[in-house]
Structure 1
């Protein structure tokens, strides 16, 4: 049993969404509603409303700034930046914070967001037959119950299957006690059976734009098999909790689950349904192309409705459901002053947005992960590598300003650029507001990527702001991003199958075959983001030829980072494969001043118990239990 924070002994929902099939657009329609009562679930309208809540609930996790922090800070991808506070220091594990159950907004987000969704899904499943709900709609609820249990078990270890009314039953009462199930119980009694049912009964094509399908369920079942296989194998002896033998109740070993993951992922590749790999990595992330065929699941937003967006559209700030993740990884480019002009101003555009400077990419990202920057388009399609003048959009009519080397630049020209390749001739001449250097003949200030600091670094273009209502000005850069936040992409099928193959699974495709599909696409260019100009090149053969003959787990993890960098995957990837300490026990970056181009090595202390996050303190605040019982409920080490 578990205490879930409900109102009026029912499911508390600030925004309830009602599914309709009669709308003029084939999308999920949302309507505010104060509360779900148990009786409401016993109507077709109530069950369908509960389904829409499950989609709406995604906004409380994916795009939430501190969930990105949870999945990225402390890994080889991101560290604490110049404006970080304890929400970020705690997760960076570098001595400035202390990871604990009270650790800010990040630790408790998966826990708090998942239980209402799980209970709602159980309510739908229990009442579906009585109201004559179609089997495919029941499968949507089964998918989401498994989806959230999978998120929980990866984050915290074993979690409760009984919320107060019996295992996987809809709970209608306020319960203040809780018992955690083991990891194998959660996988074999909840996640895997629900996902198998979802694969069997979901349609090939989405019922409405953005709803789940058979192939979405295949991807998550493959990921669950893969993750459970690693858990059973436990190559580095990482402890689990609740403590239990690393054995499967059905008697299957890790190799069985790796093979199942491979089979499901290959099945998804060979039966794509409405999904496909886009021709260019750039098109996967350019804001004008959102909700495309490669995007299988996303938490949706919009610039046309504050209700459907989950947050305000104008002004300043946002709410819990607002997509503010990219703010955390955006350095404060707005301090760039050139020739007395605020050259680069906040703009509601993909390379800009609101800068919070909480998380900075480590130097290793640019020197070890993204090495083939000239032919691999994923570096260019991931980062902001040039900040360009937009003072005209802010109302300053100055036609040109004097920049590096005394040369003139116009609006749209690069003001500061990060160099793809190290240039020892860079002379850092600019002080605190840019920290940039000069190279003879260039009008833009430049910074070597192996000399970045916590204050000024490449932003995350792929998740950047995109709006269509700027009307030639700076637009609305101070409210949350109105773009959908990516959760699952078709490209992941290839890397899941490749990882399973590395772990011994066999079939029609080798790990190298599968990885090379992704790498070949990465070699295709149609636009150079850094130079802001068309670039038609096919480097796919060079990318394939550069792939090692033998693929190991380290190469898979490198490809996953190149493909999904900064999207919240990394901590989960490193924990699954038990590579976290090996990859992230130290990192290199400069200090907090823009002019600091002398990076130092920071050491992290990553203990085995850190491979599970602490159960948040809010859970214990709501439990009726002795101190000893609470201590036994908490993950060891916290």
Structure 2
């Protein structure tokens, strides 16, 4: 019997909720409760509360302070920044840290969050008949069980299906042993059956605001088929664990799963339900438009209640289960910008600012390669903070203007330091703004070339930035955790999953180029210019489509995925799935830790095949009642 200790599947929770009502205008109504007991699931109230816990559990991962560290550091998107500690150096694999089973706060979060949720979902599913639960509600529980198993198998490899009560059974006993299932077993016994049932039984429209639907399940089923097809193919001979033959138990080939991914994704595209692509990429991420029709699935927060936000609204650290603080880690310390003796850019609870921790920095190739096209394609502008603007007036300083670059005057709202879209060799770095800024004749703002950024000062991640409605014309509460929903899945990904499957040989009504061009055409539509802080109505769709290569390959798909989902935690999983991590991220270029360092150097990473799986957290293994040899065998090879 496969068992796992209770610590890994504890069903204790902070919040559960009544989930009553049947229309999408209603929301989850949460009520405090300390713990689930086994008999709780035998009541309708208990099952409903368990379902709400499954939604609440996503906050422990999505938006968690070190979430982006887990999915981004060490890739071609992000490297350790000036204020990085070993939480970040370990995952950067650049020689300053040592990735192990005890590495910081990131490694164990997926493991520690997923198993309680899986066990809760199993409890709901087993007791559904006793409380006469509707099939659509059972499908929600099945979706979450598959969702977490899919996250686990991508992160750690094969994981246990038996948590102490039997495979995929609810466990309510204390057990301290465990056996890991293989990757094919996790997919074919847990992920695929549950997601297939979810697609069949979930409604087209969410029963409450933010609940899952057929199309949410379709996207994750398509991604699971796609990922498993790559795993079976194993183009670069990356090892798996527990060791297993790269054959499907049902005898299906990789092409079978690639075609399945294509078909399911196309079904989602052709039957969108309440979802759609928004007209402009900017609208997908501007905070005033959160919870829109393109957002399939998100981990919600709220400004209305500190309890249900699971984070202090005025100040938050990085501890606890629910705070949305991930974007802090990729925000440079712009608050040291001083001009003419004035603290020109102050910490503000607004999307371009927020709380700066400077732990992760984008690499130079992000700007010179991934986002090389910045004029036709709106995605660079709607992803990054390319201009830091003066806000000293909101901090109480009544100075009307200050003297900035080239002796020119700037007022509140004007650009203080900007990153140039195109390289300009005439930039004269004068340490302007006390953050390494340079001057160009005729400009009042200090400037920095994007191919000369460093680990201290670089474009922040605007798309996930802070947003509050209670600033009252001032700086607000920039030290409070974000109250925005954290995106987990978007309608746009159905197109890119189908396109990737087509690249892998799947066929249907749209080619990979056709599918990618839907996304690229939208990227060409501008409705606002972030860098210039002004409306910009412009349609470059035709040029964007024309620039797409005649033959779209996996490298082009990965580039499009980076442009579309940059900095959202996708990248490590994308590069691991396609086995491109080593090729893409074995080196990167960036300047040093000084703001005035504009002479980038190349940093090399050591990415070993065993790094394609994360280590299982040591604390979990140490508490198991097994021999040392059994514990050693439980851990993924290569890790201590």
TM superposition score normalised by structure 2? 0.98
Q: Which residue of 2 aligns with 1:153?
A: 153
CA contact (8 A) 1:13 1:34 kept: yes
**Do residues 493 (structure 1) and 494 (structure 2) align?**
yes
Q: Which residue of 1 aligns with 2:586?
A: 585
**Do residues 287 (structure 1) and 287 (structure 2) align?**
yes
Q: Which residue of 1 aligns with 2:330?
A: 329
Q: Which residue of 1 aligns with 2:5?
A: 3
Q: Which residue of 1 aligns with 2:232?
A: 232
Write the distance in 1 (CA, Å) between the matches of 2:253 and 2:548: 31
The Cα shift of 1:310 comes to 1.4
Matches within 5 A, 1:102-501: 102-317=102-317, 319-430=320-431, 433-501=434-502
CA contact (8 A) 2:432 2:446 kept: no
Find the residue that maps to 1:509 and give its secondary structure.
coil
CA contact (8 A) 1:261 1:497 kept: yes
Write the distance in 2 (CA, Å) between the matches of 1:84 and 1:24: 42
Deviations 1:219-240 (A, max 9, x none): 0000000000000000000000
Q: Which residue of 2 aligns with 1:51?
A: 51
Q: Which residue of 2 aligns with 1:634?
A: 635
The Cα shift of 1:535 comes to 0.5
The Cα shift of 1:18 comes to 2.3
The Cα shift of 1:140 comes to 0.1
Write the distance in 1 (CA, Å) between the matches of 2:205 and 2:477: 35
CA contact (8 A) 1:389 1:415 kept: yes
Find the residue that maps to 2:32 and give its secondary structure.
coil
Q: Which residue of 2 aligns with 1:543?
A: 544
Find the residue that maps to 2:476 and give its secondary structure.
coil
CA contact (8 A) 1:10 1:37 kept: no
The Cα shift of 1:484 comes to 0.2
Write the distance in 2 (CA, Å) between the matches of 1:2 and 1:264: 34
The Cα shift of 1:78 comes to 0.1
Deviations 1:152-180 (A, max 9, x none): 00000000000001000000001100000
Q: Which residue of 1 aligns with 2:611?
A: 610
Write the distance in 2 (CA, Å) between the matches of 1:24 and 1:173: 37
Deviations 1:518-571 (A, max 9, x none): 000000001000100010100000000000000000000000000000000000
Write the distance in 2 (CA, Å) between the matches of 1:140 and 1:25: 18
The Cα shift of 1:65 comes to 1.7
Deviations 1:299-343 (A, max 9, x none): 000111112211111134353310001000000000000000000
**Do residues 97 (structure 1) and 97 (structure 2) align?**
yes
The Cα shift of 1:23 comes to 10
CA contact (8 A) 1:80 1:359 kept: yes
Write the distance in 2 (CA, Å) between the matches of 1:10 and 1:351: 39
TM superposition score normalised by structure 1? 0.99
CA contact (8 A) 1:80 1:454 kept: yes
Give structure 1 regions of 4+ aligned residues with deviation exceeding 4 angstroms: 22-25
Write the distance in 1 (CA, Å) between the matches of 2:441 and 2:5: 65
CA contact (8 A) 1:10 1:173 kept: no
Write the distance in 2 (CA, Å) between the matches of 1:454 and 1:572: 24
CA contact (8 A) 2:364 2:588 kept: yes
**Do residues 559 (structure 1) and 560 (structure 2) align?**
yes
**Do residues 17 (structure 1) and 17 (structure 2) align?**
yes
Q: Which residue of 2 aligns with 1:576?
A: 577
CA contact (8 A) 1:4 1:115 kept: no
Deviations 1:171-211 (A, max 9, x none): 00011000000000000000000000000000000010000
CA contact (8 A) 2:526 2:536 kept: yes
Write the distance in 2 (CA, Å) between the matches of 1:42 and 1:353: 45
Write the distance in 1 (CA, Å) between the matches of 2:330 and 2:160: 34
Deviations 1:209-268 (A, max 9, x none): 000000100000000000000000000000000001000000001000000000000000
Write the distance in 1 (CA, Å) between the matches of 2:100 and 2:235: 26
**Do residues 516 (structure 1) and 493 (structure 2) align?**
no
The Cα shift of 1:22 comes to 8.4
**Do residues 84 (structure 1) and 114 (structure 2) align?**
no
The Cα shift of 1:14 comes to 1.6
- How many residue pairs are counted as aligned between the two chains? 636
Find the residue that maps to 1:437 and give its secondary structure.
strand
The Cα shift of 1:10 comes to 6.2
Write the distance in 1 (CA, Å) between the matches of 2:524 and 2:512: 19
CA contact (8 A) 2:315 2:481 kept: no
Deviations 1:104-141 (A, max 9, x none): 00000100000000000000000000000000000000
Write the distance in 2 (CA, Å) between the matches of 1:162 and 1:432: 58
CA contact (8 A) 1:431 1:595 kept: no
